[in-house]
Structure 1
Amino acid sequence: MKKLRKIITLVFIFTLAFLLFSVNTVDAALVNLKKANGDNMLYSHDGTPVLINEPFERFEREFRGTWVTPLVGNFPKFENEVQYKQAFTSLLDNLEVHNYNAIIFHVRIMNDALYDTELSPKSTYYKNNTSFDAIPWMVAEAHKRGIEFHAWMNPYRVTNGFNGNYSAINGAGIPANPASDPNKLIVINNQVILNPGIPEVREYLYNVVEEFIQKYDVDAIHFDDYFYINGVNESTDQAQYDAYNPNGLGRADWRRSQVDIFIKELSEKIDAHNEANNKTVQLGISPSGIYRNGNGNVTYDANGNAITTGSKTNGMQHYGNYLYSDTLKWINEEWIDYILPQAYWGFERAPVAGFADVMGWWDKVVKYKDVNLYAGLGPYMALDGSSSDSWKTNTDNELANQTKYLNTLENTQGFSIYSYTHYMRGLNPNDTKFYRMFQNAHNVSYKYPVLLPEKPISNKINPGYVTNFELNINENGHKVLSWTKNPLAFTYGIYRTEGEFTYSGDELIAVLNQDATSYVDTSSGFDNRYAIVALSRSNTKGEPSLVEAELGPNEYLINYHNISLRSYSKTDLVEGFLKDYYFFVNPDESLEQFMGNDYNGTWLNYNLIYRRNSKSVNNSSEYFINQDKFNYRWLPLLEYVNLVL
């Protein structure tokens, strides 16, 4: 690129509204969230107002995901390779509509597998397949689009439909699988799980996860809220309680400790895998939304550990009976990389569990910990929730309002939608309830590109600079950025500003996939500066590379009412105009004759450029400038072209 030598500014006698662009930067302000009746929404624990950002403050990073599972029918059973690939490709296309960047896909549902393994039986949702292992292809296709693939596993669950026949349950015929031994199972009514209190069960699950992450290049192992099951009593696990309780813990504490051991040791094994193989696999947990019902207050010890009795709620809690999951401990110990509580309620669901009461509490809990926090959002509540829930009383705006609220939280870095079924409904204009819901959220937030949050893992990968970053102008007058592919890039962020870079969300104009080597900016203006940043598989940003428009001694920057429109050399500008005019006139003579030496050719004989005072688009007109495909390009420059010619 060359130095700027010459700027020609032209003020034309005509104006075109569609060529005038303005950019207004408005600082976000905190305003009171209103209930359906017009009253201020208040936090339950202290009575202070719930605030949202108005307008929305664009962030640079955000996790945008959804849960996908054949269990509830939002992804089809495997029929054949072509059908399965088409379904997954459609899924990825659908995620891109709203700029989503993560999929949480169910790969282990009931002690089975939607992938190749000898540790578990093939899932009934994949049994027609005998040769094609879809997971490598699915992961690669997601990554080609800059979308993370989180492998969703239920570690303990075996079946929800037990009929008393142990030999028929998943895993019964596989000696390495604990389900082959009824003594390693917990059975409550028709539900069966692997017994969390048995060391051999843990070892089996470590093997399941380690085999999976060795074979598949996924971004996370993801567990939801299935640990212990409802109905466990003292007789359920008395033998294990007696055999594996050296510290004499009470029953509830002992059960929690069994799940603690599993989470801690699995975390260590995933970390070791990452370090040994230069991988970036996370361990993510999505528990039910309420840890414990408490007073909602959170304090901290000298190590930044959260001290709390729980959120100001009154719903099912996963700390005690029946899930026995101490997620607060997992956060304080940093055994997990992200937590995604299922905060499916609306704002107006207090005192059971108002959305702000739940997510406001979680946001404080992770404050000093290297654990990413995402919110599980429940649009399905617009159908299945309480009649007083704002998912039902304020359906059009609830998702947008929750997005604006998360936008105010210091430590919350994204969300996941439950489920993909309802996300798909939001793409259907005929499904007015969900379509309006998602369109409102799109207009507030989803329309903006975002980078993925950096993974809080020890094995962070710095991708370094992007090399050969250049800015050129194409034949349409658009700015073209190009660069050499960075081998460590998972995605690229493109930034644009007229001043100094802050690398804020307002400057981020595009997020591109790992294979991209160019980007066309169709916006007006040649006063912009550009930056590109590569992000690695750990979503760690490399150092930015910068470029700005520079013009040579025979090049011009044409400004229309102080808005830069086009950058051409004088020769290219005039010849581009005459070539288009030649195409329009379609004369018998050659292009060279039409243009002539020093532009004195036969084009002068055709008075078809424009008629005075009639320069607007009109494709039925006989004049060149009235044609839409020429009008947008040449009307702003017509006076200048005439001047040169």
Structure 2
Amino acid sequence: MRNYDIDDVHFDDYFYPYPIAGKDFPDDATYQRYGAGTFANKADWRRDNVSKLIHELSVQIKEVKPYVKFGVSPFGVWRNQSVDPTGSATTAGVSDYDDLYADTRTWIKNNWLDYIAPQIYWNIGFAPAAYDILVPWWVNEVKGSHVQLYIGQAAYKINANNSAWANPEEMPNQLKLNLQYSAVKGSIFFSMKDLSANPLGFTDRLKNDIYRYPALVPIMPWLGGHAPEPVELKEAVQKDNGVQLSWSTHRHSNATSYAIYRFDGHVRRNSCDFADAQNIVAIVHRVDGDASTQTFVDTTAPAGQTYTYYVTALDRLHHESNPGHGQTIVIAR
């Protein structure tokens, strides 16, 4: 935290170990010494240990760097409905609360996290723990809190020895289901190694179809930050490799990146739909150093077209400025 310029502290699902048949975690002596006089049973004491860790980390992170996000990707089932009527309609063999001693509900209700990313690593319709059952359950779980919801996606299972995961539409269908819920802010895929292998052409599908447009990161207003000053686009000039855009940034600006928008024709700012991601050409990082001029080359603009460009600035927490002055260019054939 103090030595590195980080944006986020992220915990995976390692709390108490996953249970192994015939073996128990050897903490009897520790419980007798520290917990038996306060807690009725070891399970409650274990959950309290984990919750203290999460809470204290949450406080300490914000004390050192208030803008750093803190999130956890827990196992995808909090509790089965059979042991708690407010749990999910699942029959999972492991749960966060009862087996890993991770009381994610308490963390969410107390807003100790900025986001949570449950690992829903099962296919749609999987009887013990169905993806389509668990996503809406977690949507309801974060309701009323400021904790944002991302879904942990099982990229490592694509094309596994399983009929559901051999279906090239399984993961795309999961992402489509996510879009039905505004509370789902995005996805976290496990793992990069698996995505790099392009299983069943899924990575190509992401790039060319599902995620073909850039996306702005959802803001977390409780972390502070503010939108930078509007960006005035100085020029749009045709070069051999595309349209070069140039704009100025004050050296003390809080901008860390820029969104480049392109619209067909000669259009005024108030007629542009900045909420439609298909109008974003790219999101680029600010050039380091004292240089006040930033540039970007749009290599995708076809010849013979007229386009109007605008640039917005974003701070490190992704608050977006209003667009400033734009530039229109007719691209020669």
User: Does the TM-score normalized on the shorter chain lie above 0.5?
Assistant: yes
- 1:382 lines up with 2:158 in the alignment: yes
- Cα distance between partner residues in 1 of 2:225 and 2:38: 41
Instruction: From the superposition, tell whether residues 545 and 227 of structure 1 become closer, same or farther in structure 2 (CA, over 3 Å).
Output: same
Are the counterparts in 2 of residues 294 and 311 from structure 1 also a CA contact under 8 Å? yes
Q: Which residue of 2 aligns with 1:293?
A: 80
**Larger Cα Rg: Structure 1 or Structure 2?**
1
- 1:369 lines up with 2:145 in the alignment: yes
Instruction: From the superposition, tell whether residues 503 and 546 of structure 1 become closer, same or farther in structure 2 (CA, over 3 Å).
Output: farther
Q: Which residue of 2 aligns with 1:525?
A: 305
Deviations 1:553-594, CA, capped at 9 Å, x for gaps:
xxxxxxxxxxx654xxxxxxxxxxxxxxxxxxxxxxxxxxxx
What is the deviation of 1:270? 0.6
The residue identity in structure 2 corresponding to 1:473 is V
- Cα distance between partner residues in 2 of 1:310 and 1:255: 20
Are the counterparts in 2 of residues 466 and 484 from structure 1 also a CA contact under 8 Å? no
- Runs of 5+ unmatched residues, structure 2: 288-292
The number of equivalent residue pairs is: 313
3-state SS of paired residue (1:284): strand
Are the counterparts in 2 of residues 400 and 444 from structure 1 also a CA contact under 8 Å? no
Instruction: From the superposition, tell whether residues 461 and 235 of structure 1 become closer, same or farther in structure 2 (CA, over 3 Å).
Output: closer
Select which of 444, 461, 471 maps to 2:209: 444
Q: Which residue of 2 aligns with 1:360?
A: 136
- 1:338 lines up with 2:118 in the alignment: no
3-state SS of paired residue (2:80): coil
Deviations 1:56-104, CA, capped at 9 Å, x for gaps:
xxxxxxxxxxxxxxxxxxxxxxxxxxxxxxxxxxxxxxxxxxxxxxxxx
Are the counterparts in 1 of residues 236 and 243 from structure 2 also a CA contact under 8 Å? yes
- 1:311 lines up with 2:88 in the alignment: yes
Q: Which residue of 1 aligns with 2:229?
A: 465
What is the deviation of 1:291? 1.0
Q: Which residue of 2 aligns with 1:266?
A: 57
After superposition, residues 535-550 of structure 1 pair within 5 angstroms as 535-549=314-328
Are the counterparts in 1 of residues 31 and 42 from structure 2 also a CA contact under 8 Å? no
3-state SS of paired residue (1:510): strand
Instruction: From the superposition, tell whether residues 518 and 322 of structure 1 become closer, same or farther in structure 2 (CA, over 3 Å).
Output: same
- Cα distance between partner residues in 1 of 2:295 and 2:159: 44
Instruction: From the superposition, tell whether residues 531 and 308 of structure 1 become closer, same or farther in structure 2 (CA, over 3 Å).
Output: farther
- 1:391 lines up with 2:165 in the alignment: yes
The residue identity in structure 2 corresponding to 1:283 is F
What is the deviation of 1:331? 1.0
The residue identity in structure 1 corresponding to 2:194 is H
- Cα distance between partner residues in 2 of 1:480 and 1:383: 42
Are the counterparts in 2 of residues 337 and 457 from structure 1 also a CA contact under 8 Å? no
What is the deviation of 1:474? 2.4
Instruction: From the superposition, tell whether residues 261 and 422 of structure 1 become closer, same or farther in structure 2 (CA, over 3 Å).
Output: same
- Cα distance between partner residues in 2 of 1:308 and 1:376: 24
- Cα distance between partner residues in 1 of 2:45 and 2:209: 46
Instruction: From the superposition, tell whether residues 245 and 282 of structure 1 become closer, same or farther in structure 2 (CA, over 3 Å).
Output: farther
- Cα distance between partner residues in 2 of 1:421 and 1:375: 18
- Runs of 5+ unmatched residues, structure 1: 1-212, 296-306, 427-433, 551-563, 567-632, 634-645
Select which of 184, 187, 192 maps to 1:415: 187
Q: Which residue of 1 aligns with 2:31?
A: 240
Select which of 268, 274, 281 maps to 2:68: 281
- Cα distance between partner residues in 2 of 1:412 and 1:520: 33
After superposition, residues 210-229 of structure 1 pair within 5 angstroms as 213-229=1-17
Q: Which residue of 1 aligns with 2:290?
A: none
- Cα distance between partner residues in 1 of 2:145 and 2:236: 44
What is the deviation of 1:505? 1.5
Are the counterparts in 1 of residues 232 and 311 from structure 2 also a CA contact under 8 Å? no
Q: Which residue of 1 aligns with 2:259?
A: 493
Deviations 1:236-280, CA, capped at 9 Å, x for gaps:
3344355346644433222111111111111011111114xxxx2
The residue identity in structure 2 corresponding to 1:263 is I
TM-score, scaled relative to structure 2? 0.83
What is the deviation of 1:422? 0.7
What is the deviation of 1:357? 1.2
- Cα distance between partner residues in 2 of 1:259 and 1:449: 37
Are the counterparts in 2 of residues 219 and 282 from structure 1 also a CA contact under 8 Å? yes
Instruction: From the superposition, tell whether residues 245 and 536 of structure 1 become closer, same or farther in structure 2 (CA, over 3 Å).
Output: farther
- Cα distance between partner residues in 1 of 2:46 and 2:247: 55
What is the deviation of 1:507? 2.2
The residue identity in structure 1 corresponding to 2:314 is L
Instruction: From the superposition, tell whether residues 503 and 406 of structure 1 become closer, same or farther in structure 2 (CA, over 3 Å).
Output: same
| Percent of residue pairs bearing the same amino acid type | 28
3-state SS of paired residue (2:155): coil
Instruction: From the superposition, tell whether residues 288 and 362 of structure 1 become closer, same or farther in structure 2 (CA, over 3 Å).
Output: same
RMSD: 2.8
The residue identity in structure 2 corresponding to 1:450 is A
What is the deviation of 1:549? 2.5
Instruction: From the superposition, tell whether residues 247 and 240 of structure 1 become closer, same or farther in structure 2 (CA, over 3 Å).
Output: closer
- Cα distance between partner residues in 1 of 2:236 and 2:308: 12
Are the counterparts in 1 of residues 92 and 128 from structure 2 also a CA contact under 8 Å? yes
Which 10-residue stretch deviates more, 459-468 or 506-515? Answer: 459-468
TM-score, scaled relative to structure 1? 0.45
The list of structure 1 runs, each at least 4 consecutive aligned residues, that deviate by more than 6 angstroms after superposition, is: none
